[in-house]
Chain A
Amino acid sequence: MLDFIVKRVVQVVIVVFLALTVVFFLIRLSGDPTTLFLPPDAPKEQIEEYRELLGFNRPLYVQYAEFMKGAVHGDFGESLRSGEDALGLVMARMPATFQLAISALALSLIIAIPLGVLSAYKRNTLFDKASVGITVIGQAIPNFWFGLILIFIFAAQLKLFPSSGGGSVKHMVLPVITLALYSVSRFVRFTRSAMLDVLSKDYIRTTKAAGTPTSTLIMKYALKNSLIPIITLIALDLGVLLGGAVITEAVFSWPGVGRLLQQSLMNRDFPIVLAGVFIIAIIYAVINFITDILYAYVNPQIRVK
């Protein structure tokens, strides 16, 4: 087990390091950000002065080494716009994003698991076909557009919820539903097929023949065994949710990391972008790590291996 953990931690470090390196060079390749802060007709001396000030006049490898040295200590420099600490700005936005992602995950599970289970149990009935049909359509809907439609109906027309901003439970409703949409479709499809797999097993037939009530059969015997693939999917989806959060946050002006990242990309405020990439890569890697451990926990066969 210790061996496994050490291996994975090393892997996380490599992933984060490579992600930062790639983004760093991509950004530097795209040009010098100093020109963005000065009027296009700025005198040459002023541009030089700015480049000196921001350190963009040094050779690329020196900048890279400096950056990495700082990054190891959690120092990504200051925002080019506001002058605040880049990592601090990202961290300050973290809770809002987590709030959104976790609520969306919870909502989609509450909807999707019963739906998937029922769909599998009532296989090939009208109910099953309807729920499969809805998931197929759900997967074709871009979630930012779904968000816009929700804003139009519930904010513009019915005036039930605010269209943008954060801070209260009311602000959360529409973004959470938006973000949950995509996961719901995937979860339903997945739960359904995992359940179908289990329901066709011999031991289920035997249990059924022994007269076990349907609810016990599903809850105790079938669902438990289809949890393994579902857990993996949930973990995989947390990453998708984090990505989706960027877009959802932009639609609803939700004050999270995604919106910060989008604005920083727009403004070419690169220290923030790098700090954001750093945090997201770490979270993503940690989620994968936890999934593997959970996986081993639910499935003893893997533990032995």
Chain B
Amino acid sequence: METSTITTTTNPIDSKVQKKSKFKFFFRKLSKSWTGMLGFGIIIILIVLSLFGQWIAPFDPMDAPLRDRLLPPLTDGHILGTDQLGRDILSRLIAGTKVSMIIGLATALLAGVVGTIIGVTAGYFRGWVDVVLMRIVDVQLSFPFILLVLVVSAVLGAGLTNIIISLAVGGWVIFARVIRSEVLAIREKEFITAAIATGVPKLEILVRHILPNIFTPIIILVSLQMGTYIIAEASVSFLGFGVQPPTPAWGNMLNEGKDYIFGSWWLITFPGLAIVLTTLGVNLFGDWLRDTLDPELKGE
């Protein structure tokens, strides 16, 4: 009786301590790399802007008083100026953060889940399933990513969901390929052989022993691919597909701004800088994560 009360009270404390030290471990590691810190800092800012942007933004991003059109930066409270319809650029940038973050994350998630399922299937079951799936991957890799995304998004039509689907259609192959080779390697480990020998069902081996071990590469890939997706979305929206005006996205802001390039530099400068900073932050953090979690991949 006494022992049981002791165990029940110590358990939650134990896990709490463990959680706290994991957190501490993360920050101690992070504080040693200034590029990782920088990336992490940028990501935190981006998250805050996407969650609370509507209260931070000085103006309504959709409000278009035409008499205020094309105001240069630092006039009438418009820190970054206004666009061709008189909308505040800073407020539109902030609203665009949300769009970019949603697209980057949702695509990474969708491509990650689909790619992981296919990669695990190919790596775990091998045989003809593997051959067929990897042939499909090869075929897709023999076509330029951005062109594929462009064609698919042009065909599916405009909209947030469609651009996410198009990007995921182009992006799942990387996940499938990397995860497959991870699974192939893990399958050969002794603890899997032991599990098979003791009669653990296939599905349980997959869920309990293989999936937890490919979690790290998945996280690394997600963080490294997000930058690619954000730039690809901006490119596609810039070409007039993808996210359509008046929804503020960085790519379509640049598309609209390019017609005023000879007179109003601020229309094309700031959305581009936003893309660069975001991609930089995500990439730096991704690089750090890879170097920390999987030192073997370093420099690849």
Contact = CB atoms under 8 A, between A and B. Distances in A.
B150 A246 contact: yes
B261 A148 contact: yes
A240 interface: yes
A156 B147 contact: no
B278 to A, nearest CB: 8
Interface in A250-290: 250-251, 261-262, 265-266, 273, 277, 280-281, 284-285, 288
Given A18-B139, A243-B146, A265-B150, A145 B241 contact: no
Given A140-B227, A140-B283, A284 B143 contact: yes
A141 B241 contact: no
- Classify the interface of chain B: helix, strand, loop or mixed: helix
Interface in B247-297: 254, 258, 261-262, 265, 268-269, 272, 275-277, 279-280, 283-284
A288 B239 CA distance: 28
B139 A19 contact: yes
B196 interface: no
Q: Which has the most chain A C-beta neighbours within 10 Å: B35, B152, B156, B272?
A: B272
A280 B151 CA distance: 13
B275 A145 contact: yes
Interface string A1-37: 0000000000100110011000100110110000000
B286 to A, nearest CB: 11
Given A26-B151, A156-B261, A247-B238, A145 B254 contact: yes
Nearest to A197: B299
B74 to A, nearest CB: 19
B238 A144 contact: yes
Contacts of B238: 144, 247, 250
A239 B280 contact: no
Contact of B144 (A15, A136, A156, A243): A243
A193 interface: yes
Nearest to B273: A145
A244 interface: yes
A240 B144 contact: yes
Contacts of B35: 136
- Classify the interface of chain A: helix, strand, loop or mixed: helix
B177 to A, nearest CB: 14
Size band of the A side of the interface? 35 or more
Contacts of B262: 156
A142 interface: yes
Given A142-B235, A247-B239, A15 B154 contact: no
A149 B268 contact: yes
A139 interface: yes
Interface in A81-99: none
B176 interface: no
Contacts of B279: 139-142
A242 interface: yes
Nearest to A239: B144
Contact of A23 (B146, B151, B283): B151
| 4 nearest A-B pairs in the assembled complex, by CB-CB distance | A243-B144, A145-B272, A140-B279, A265-B154
27 contacts: A11-B138, A19-B139, A19-B143, A26-B151, A30-B155, A30-B156, A136-B284, A140-B283, A144-B235, A145-B234, A145-B254, A148-B268, A152-B265, A152-B269, A196-B299, A242-B144, A243-B144, A250-B238, A251-B258, A261-B147, A261-B150, A262-B239, A265-B151, A265-B154, A265-B241, A281-B143, A284-B142
Interface of B: 35, 138-139, 142-147, 150-152, 154-157, 227, 231, 234-235, 238-241, 254, 258, 261-262, 265, 268-269, 272, 275-277, 279-280, 283-284, 299
